[in-house]
Amino acid sequence: MVHVWVGQQVGALAGSGAPAVRGVAAAQDGQAGGGHGGEVSLVLPDLSGVTVLGGMSGRTLLLLGLGVCGLGLVFGLLVYLQLRRLPVHRSMSEVADLIWSTCKAYLTQQGRFLLVLWGFIAAVIVTYYGVLVGLPWGRVAVVIAFSLVGMAGSYSVAWFGIRVNTLANARTAFASLGGKPLPVHQIPMRSGMSIGMVLISLELLIMLIILLFLPADLAGACFIGFAIGESLGAAALRIAGGIFTKIADIGSDLMKIAFKIKEDDARNPGVIADCTGDNAGDSVGPSADGFETYGVTGVALITFVLLGVGDPAVQASLLVWIFVVRAVMVVASALSYLANDAWTRARWTGADRMNFETPLTSLVWLTSIVSMAATYLTTWAVLAPSTTDGLWWKLATIISCGTLAGALIPELVKVFTSTHSKHVREVVKSSRQGGASLTILSGLVAGNFSAFWLGTAIVGLMGGAFLISGLGLEAVMVAPAIFAFGLVAFGFLSMGPVTIAVDSYGPVTDNAQSVYELSTIEEIPGIDDELRREHGVDPQWTRAKLMLEENDGAGNTFKATAKPVLIGTAVVGATTMIFSIVMALTDSLTTGLENLSLLHAPLLLGLITGGAVIFWFTGASIQAVTTGAYRAVEFIRTTIRLDGVTRASEADSRRVVEICTQYAQQGMLTMFLGVFFLTLSFAFVEPFFFIGYLISIAIFGLYQAIFMANAGGAWDNAKKIVEVDLHAKGTALHDATIVGDTVGDPYKDTSSVALNPVIKFTTLFGLLAVELAVSLTTEGRQTLVTTLAAVFFAAALFFVHRSFYGMRIRTSLEDEPEPATGGPAPQGASGRGVPSSSSTSSTTTSALAEQGAGEQR
């Protein structure tokens, strides 16, 4: 595009040696190859010079934060050990062990895949920092090493989350047999807090180690490398997990219509894959995503402080304050959980019924209130002695706007997704007379309305933060509104352990219901006497199944509440990272500001382009689910046995898992490479075109994600109302809501949730990409920049094209099997139940096995 402008703009930058940023020592500029390298050259101020009440140094205070992280990790370990010791029947533990083994196989494959993707990122890092910038190779190695640390962090919390959840699911299922709801709530809640505490504590521990123990002139490299690595890990695990889980979920759900079987019929080989997918998508994805969100937001704030605050003493005070608040919020979340758990036990011990959403709601609000109080107290203690003009209460209030959002947004989400929501009940009413058509339309209405209300709430809270930032913050920093927006994102995450906990509650409750059915425990001879004799449990079979379904509805709701919090954090926090790119391009806001105007055509074109990419990405992710689900359904329909067996064979179940894994990896690779090359291309087209593009994907992504997540949540819980409240399983109404749920599955658990890490990865990786483009142009390689922009764009178009044409369903219309007519399938020669309408299908199981995922013909 307008490459003449690039030469003019970077000419000014070259004249000053490099983007001059506040907080970068002149000596370090020299070390960094003439000042190039951007954030990798940032130098931390002396943190020991900060003193708080009582004369304690800032460094000492942060060392205490390491102790908090250690306690958080110990908390998670103790809960894990407690879960292992909880009673469980062998039939249920066998199912849970099978789910765990398939999850391990999936994660192992994803780990290898992550290393392949990391190779692309490492190549860019080495090319830019090592070859073009000329950083010492030791410093380049630091960036590379910490990108691996970040990726390993996302990957490790995903492992821990799956292990805890697969222990908790069987224990929750077994606890339901006693007929009391309290244990059915407490076990998934405890496992969720375990994951939340480990995730946040590990993230904070790594960042404190960088801050406290590595040389100040290496911190920028460590933080940027760490953020890029964890962003890569989260993006890949979130995208692949979202595709996997919805292939399995749809494949399993459609069998209920085709064969008129129950939700988690043990004879359905797709159910184990569905359980694996619940963990891959609803545990691995959110765990990695939450780890990355927490880290990237912190890196963005650190970068702003070093770029936008001129006084090193103020820089040091703000950095100490940010990390002390983070540590205090971990303590606040733990105390809130313990207090809420005590209240829950006092209220529902011995009760026969409970609203499972009530203690989850009270936990979120209690944590929000405690966190806001702790924020004011901590900010006063850390900042009041070293700042003036009431800076401490202004910053505390800005963070509190985000903390309030962390509680308010879930309430708004429940309006559109809870089983008690009028919108969800409207979906059921529409389904009763209009079938699947009106089911889908009513869900779309809920999603659209939710985007308006949640968007308005986020804008209102950001607006409040902006107004407060105008009360004197400009005296200590440039662009105080940008810092305020970053602090709002920080406030979103201030009760991170609880946010992760209520999100992790969902996959446990979902799996618990499945484990119960797959165990076929009710059919074991003499099971009642065995349970009384060995476990002291008088089984309440009907009550147990009802409680598990009701708890699953609560889990669905609170899984939905966490999604807008994470996407909101990504969008609000992205503004801070985009600002760091703007700072570099405008020589600390001193030149080229006219290019940030809509009158600058490349910026406007970038704003338009971002929307196109968001819509491609959501379509591509749904396409991967659609094709994978087609293959899964095809395999299940031709292998399911309904007569003479009590459960599907382990081999058939594992084959469905393989199909889901193949298409998840194929879809994820195609989309990731599309995003990767689009980011490189647009950064090379023109820097301010890229700024417009980043702003656009954040805005379009925010509303697309909220709309899709809440429409899917409404469809999901509409089905739950039909099953639990109306007891209408197997009816036409149930079939209609199942169709709505299968439409909503990739909406809420694939496309919407994947936009969060995509936005952050693009912004973080774009930071390197745009610096690479500017550096090349500064060195007079304009033709190379133009050529690379075209080459990268061509590569991106290849993967965009492949995301449909490489993933499409490869069956001719003439060979398409007719829909199953329902009821038990007749037995074929092999003894397997096959719908009569499918018997002439030309696509066989052996052909499927040979074909694999993403085949090309």
CB contact at 8 A, 767 and 124: no
C-alpha span between 225 and 126 (Å, rounded): 12
What token pair was written down for 250? 């749809």
C-alpha span between 750 and 745 (Å, rounded): 7
C-alpha span between 751 and 239 (Å, rounded): 8
C-alpha span between 117 and 125 (Å, rounded): 13
What token pair was written down for 134? 């000329």
C-alpha span between 279 and 65 (Å, rounded): 31
Question: pLDDT confidence of 816, banded at 50, 70, 90?
Answer: low
For residue 817, the model assigns a pLDDT of: 53
Q: Is the alpha carbon torsion for 197, 160, 244, 574 positive or negative?
A: positive
Helix, strand or coil, per DSSP, at residue 493: coil
Chain segment 341-379, per-residue pLDDT in tens: 999 999 999 899 999 999 999 999 999 999 999 999 999
Which whole number is the average pLDDT over 86-110? 92
What's the mean pLDDT when you consider all of the chain? 86
For residue 850, the model assigns a pLDDT of: 36
Q: What is the pTM (predicted TM-score) of this model? A: 0.85
CA angle 510, 651, 248 (to 5 degrees): 35
C-alpha span between 373 and 396 (Å, rounded): 9
For residue 260, the model assigns a pLDDT of: 83
For residue 57, the model assigns a pLDDT of: 87
Question: pLDDT confidence of 456, banded at 50, 70, 90?
Answer: very high
Q: Is 349 exposed, middle or buried (0-12, 13-18, 19+ CB in 10 A)?
A: exposed
**What's the gap between Cα 629 and its chain centre?**
22
| Matching residue, tokens 């529409």 | 430
Chain segment 657-679, per-residue pLDDT in tens: 999 999 999 999 999 999 999 99
Chain segment 241-293, per-residue pLDDT in tens: 999 988 988 988 888 788 888 878 889 898 998 899 888 887 888 888 888 88
Residue 519 confidence (pLDDT) above 90: yes
C-alpha span between 95 and 167 (Å, rounded): 11
Question: pLDDT confidence of 838, banded at 50, 70, 90?
Answer: very low
C-alpha span between 457 and 469 (Å, rounded): 18
Question: pLDDT confidence of 815, banded at 50, 70, 90?
Answer: low
C-alpha span between 307 and 322 (Å, rounded): 16
Residue 27 confidence (pLDDT) above 50: no
Of 152, 162, 151, the closest CA to residue 245 belongs to 162
Q: Which residues contact 39 (CB under 8 A, 6 or more apart)?
A: 220, 223, 224, 303, 306, 307, 580, 767
Check residues 693 and 777 and name the one with the higher pLDDT: 693
Residue 504 confidence (pLDDT) above 80: yes
For residue 585, the model assigns a pLDDT of: 85
Question: pLDDT confidence of 765, banded at 50, 70, 90?
Answer: confident
CB contact at 8 A, 277 and 305: no
Query: Helix 496-519 vs helix 137-175: angle between axes, to the nearest 10 degrees?
Result: 50
Exposure class string for 546-567: b at 16+ Cβ within 10 A, else e: bbbbbbbbbbbbbbbbbbbbbb
First to last CA, the chain: 36
Q: Which residues contact 107 (CB under 8 A, 6 or more apart)?
A: 155, 158, 159, 162, 284
C-alpha span between 587 and 412 (Å, rounded): 41
Q: What is the SS3 assignment for 684-730?
A: HHCHHHHHHHHHHHHHHHHHHHHHHHHHHHHHHHHHHHHHHCCCCCC
Residue 336 confidence (pLDDT) above 90: yes
Question: pLDDT confidence of 12, banded at 50, 70, 90?
Answer: very low
CB contact at 8 A, 565 and 494: no
Question: pLDDT confidence of 125, banded at 50, 70, 90?
Answer: confident
Q: Could you give phi then psi for residue 157, rounded to 5 degrees?
A: -70, -25
For residue 218, the model assigns a pLDDT of: 83
Residue 320 confidence (pLDDT) above 90: yes
Q: Which amino acid is at 2?
A: V
For residue 40, the model assigns a pLDDT of: 62
CA distances (Å), 466 to each of 393, 401, 457, 703, in order? Answer: 14, 10, 14, 21
Other CB atoms within 10 Å distance of the CB of residue 727: 10
For residue 786, the model assigns a pLDDT of: 93
For residue 530, the model assigns a pLDDT of: 95
Beta bridge partners of 496: none
Which whole number is the average pLDDT over 203-231? 89
Residue 5 confidence (pLDDT) above 70: no
For residue 847, the model assigns a pLDDT of: 36
CA distances (Å), 478 to each of 302, 310, 839, in order? Answer: 14, 8, 70
Question: pLDDT confidence of 38, banded at 50, 70, 90?
Answer: low
The secondary structure of 69-122 as a DSSP string is HHHHHHHHHHHHHHHHHS---HHHHHHHHHHHHHHHHHHHHHHHHHHHHHHHHH
C-alpha span between 143 and 276 (Å, rounded): 34
For residue 768, the model assigns a pLDDT of: 83
C-alpha span between 664 and 676 (Å, rounded): 18
CB contact at 8 A, 695 and 607: yes
